[in-house]
Amino acid sequence: MTEIRSVGVIGAGQMGNGIAHVAALAGLSVALLDVKAEALEKALATVARNMDRQVAKGGLSGADKDAALGRIRTGTEMSLFSDCDIVIEAATEKEELKLSLFRSVCPVLKPAAILASNTSSIPITRLAAATDRPERVIGMHFMNPVPVMKLVEIIRGIATSDETFEAVAALAATLGKTTAVAQDYPAFIVNRILVPMINEAVQALQEGVGDVRSIDAAMRLGANHPMGPLQLGDFIGLDTCLAIMRVLHEGMGDSKYRPSPLLVKYVEAGWLGRKAGRGFYDYSQDPPKPTR
């Protein structure tokens, strides 16, 4: 079985910097890539700040924090990954982008390197078919925020080898994660169940079944969810929720996965949730105020 000691990460956003964070803390060498140098600077600052929180809580020593940060190198060129045992793609949830990245990174990888995608919905088999190593392509779907959430979904494509699967399962254990193995169907396990619930909450809002506060309070207090579905949609990103619903609708061919028209309108308006400052809540105010 391939032993993974060096990890490449494509994309320095929220998911990418979280994956870099946990890999570096686990003692692995990390190469973090983004097309924008300023995104890399922001990512390193975020990782340092999140590690400082762990130090303040007593879960991490200052020396371990410094050592972990020292294991992360950054760059804007794919050649950064030439010595990596695995490269994990954590770019925006757009299939054409992911396919383009896979095609671009393959020529610089060593022959035995594994290529993983953090996609939350796109079929792994389809992504793997665009590479020169479909047997070494796998889904490794981390939950947000990565340093806090314990789960990683592992998704095998139709060509994924046993050796690749075992190596990635071992990597997840090294990162301190619990794994759930999902079949390669649209949106896998977590988002197959979670995002349609969020979409249904948006549809209930559109139909006037309840307002934003009532819908979220009902699910927090009535179903013991840590946050309401509309608040959760804002946290995930409404553009990501819409992308997942579209993958489900197209892939399953079932009308129950039709994206809510109101969800589409919010995304068209640029009201994408917390990252945009406005979604189903307005985050310019404290506490955030419902926008509908």
| Catalytically annotated residue among 17, 93, 153, 199 | 153
Number of Cα atoms under 13 Å in the Cβ half of residue 147: 20
Residue with tokens 């190593």: 133
Burial class (CB in 10 A: 0-12, 13-18, 19+), 55: middle
Residue with tokens 């190469």: 31
Which amino acid type is present at position 17?
N
Residue with tokens 């969810």: 225
135 is catalytic: no
| Catalytically annotated residue among 17, 21, 117, 141 | 141
| Catalytically annotated residue among 118, 120, 199, 260 | 120
3 is catalytic: no
21 is catalytic: no
| Catalytically annotated residue among 17, 118, 191, 260 | 191
d(CA 238, CA 267): 6
Q: Is the peptide bond before 287 cis (omega within 30 degrees of 0)?
A: yes
∠ CA 105-190-131, nearest 5°, is 20
Number of Cα atoms under 13 Å in the Cβ half of residue 231: 15
Burial class (CB in 10 A: 0-12, 13-18, 19+), 252: middle
> Does residue 145 contact residue 119 with C-beta atoms inside 8 Å?
no
Distances in Å between the alpha carbon of 195 and those of 113, 220, 222, 255, 292? 32, 16, 19, 15, 20
Q: What are phi and psi of 114, to 5 degrees?
A: -95, 145
> Does residue 34 contact residue 57 with C-beta atoms inside 8 Å?
no
Residues marked active site are found at 120, 141, 153, 191
